[in-house]
Structure 1
């Protein structure tokens, strides 16, 4: 079995059976191409002949290339999917990745904005410009609904159910979920749609997209990143800010105010509760800093450390 035909079959499996997005499929194929590159560099090992020893040597090889532990772990995750596919298709009977350990990762907690910082960024928007109200509605939706940036740029007007207080989101793997939308987000979305967007000449086929640029096309992910980073600078916020920061802030603020973890998992569209649990760690840090700052014994302990 050669690499080209196996990779082609894997690509079809990811697209049809796993229903993954084009970006996810490309990421998996890049991981397989890395292994193929290594296999060809050591004598041309066929995909069905790769052993766990070969994979261990591959890990050493990518480490010597300077690949970070997090990137190595993601590559190995992609290769596990590749070998699982080969077992399912009876290309091989053994999965060499089953006994392979991923590199240990330190869990980096994401930056989170306070409510004051979010308000400062929103206040920094220039509402005298046509795109100002769009950007305000965009930030209110990001923070109020905890969306991924791709979910924001792909948001459709036909999926806005204001009277029911929900929006329909198509997330990773084309999985649907309904997310509650609050009064602030509804208010500014209505203003943007009714008073600004109606004056934009929309490109053919893009009529249902909520957030448009001046040329009538949907906003790109890159444009959303640029808008948010510019607003952070204007607001004097020095944290590493991205659209995902609003998603982290959405989840963290819910946890801090006593929301149920399972409900947050559903709203974020996390497949595993383990992914959502990172926000409980954020909350513990928040509680610890609050106690040290405000509890009498906490203040005494801080003085001793100083």
Structure 2
């Protein structure tokens, strides 16, 4: 919806996406007729954020009217997020360059908590009177098949907000016209009832805690396996996904020799690791690193 709206209102806008990003980001904006551009995100070893390279390129090449796509938390696919200070610098830079922030908020509550995970939005709001937030409830409400979400448009005043809302509705009407009711109704029911909301908060904290625990157990298991690589960098990542640092060759070896399937980039779905498959997985990865 955001892509359709932007394509109609600012067809000359370029949309800046991180490298890497969620694979569908580029195709969504390109299908709407917008040009996409890439900014660097990972360091050379693919284990940390290269904020200097990211900032330098956006400062040099970003221009007024461009759209800056950012992951609010739990960056997909790397799990690596900027610090609060870095978010502040990015927000200020985008403001100075006249770029419009578009925030993908797909994993709210899976990082450090509901309040902590929105710190990027809070920093952007300090520097921007206008920005978009694409908020998804597929994961944090367990409604993946319902595709529940919301496009939030922050505007400088009520008049502009009404105009934006009117044009967004036109984009919606010409796209899917009317969303299915059930997913949104479930979220509304949970958030509108104090008891259900508290139960949801507890369960969300349990899911978040499990993912954090799996990361810790994985790092310890790799250490115990005698692995030549220190995987402690995973502890600084957040959310369901992590970049393991495995090379395409090592990923291919795991697939052909051990029947373990990992995305070619080395991204691992941390939520898919369990106590029953942890030992086999870490042992196989340790062996792949020695090949």
Q: Do both proteins adopt the same fold according to a TM-score greater than 0.5, normalized to the shorter chain?
A: no
- Which has more strand, going by share of residues? 2
- Which has more helix, going by share of residues? 1
Q: Which has the larger radius of gyration?
A: 1
